[in-house]
Structure 1
């Protein structure tokens, strides 16, 4: 199995997790409403996170935006992990920590994707700063 296939499966796995949680956010599932109410940002925070997660999934499959999707994914999952640790708890609505584990898995997956896209990230950063 070559590197390109491994990276594709990482992207696919991360995307599936984001799409699954996105479904619950946009359908106003009780668990999502509970989480974002505890964070004090219901309903707009839930909807905004859903939009961000949809953008992440789309960016992961656009070759020149993969790095941006991975970067946004790392940021959103870091927020989710910290929210679980400091505000909502690890076990949310008797899920036995499943959402917390999914956040960690996606954080690690996005980190790997970003690492594998480091050349594209550096090229884009150079291009950004040369535009001045």
Structure 2
């Protein structure tokens, strides 16, 4: 029973995250009205702080940049199913956690709110579930994360 639950978590969570991320790309990369509302509200909010364009089409946090990061995270998750590349899922989880931390915070602490597209807060709930899934995977894969961090530190030290 425990092995079965572990398999569901280690296979199911990355696939769930990929499904959410990859599904969102059709909105982000096609300039869908829902995406325009969200990033328009965020850009107007940023403009009120003197950072106009931050969430605009060519901004640092544009829908294209966020969508590209979600695409990279999804690719890393899927490549991480190859046994010799399993550590990539640690990087994918960290990237996904960073992306969703931003999403959840922007929903909670900006005029965006939790229901910008009048979908009953579905987008916000999905962001929270993906955030929790990424955090869960990072906790479960903490030994791989530490080993990867040590390897990265070692490579930085030897390159000096």
- TM-score normalised to structure 1 length: 0.94
- Tell me, in whole angstroms, the C-alpha distance in 2 between the residues paired with 1:102 and 1:5: 19
- RMSD over aligned Cα atoms: 1.2
- TM-score normalised to structure 2 length: 0.78
Confirm whether residue 67 of structure 1 aligns to residue 90 of structure 2.
Answer: yes
* Aligned residue pair count: 132
Structure 2 unmatched runs, 5+: 44-54, 81-85
Confirm whether residue 126 of structure 1 aligns to residue 150 of structure 2.
Answer: yes
Query: Hey, which of these two has a bigger chunk of helix by percent?
Result: 1
Structure 1 unmatched runs, 5+: none
| Alignment match of 1:14 (pick from 14, 17, 21) | 17
Other-structure match for 1:109: 133
Higher relative contact order (CA 8 A, sep 6+): 1
After the TM superposition, list the runs of 4 or more consecutive aligned residues in structure 1 that deviate by more than 2 angstroms: none
User: Alpha-carbon deviations, 1:88-118, whole Å to 9, x = none?
Assistant: 0111121111111000000001111111211
User: Alpha-carbon deviations, 1:55-109, whole Å to 9, x = none?
Assistant: 0101112222100100010111010001101220111121111111000000001
Which protein shows a greater Rg? 2
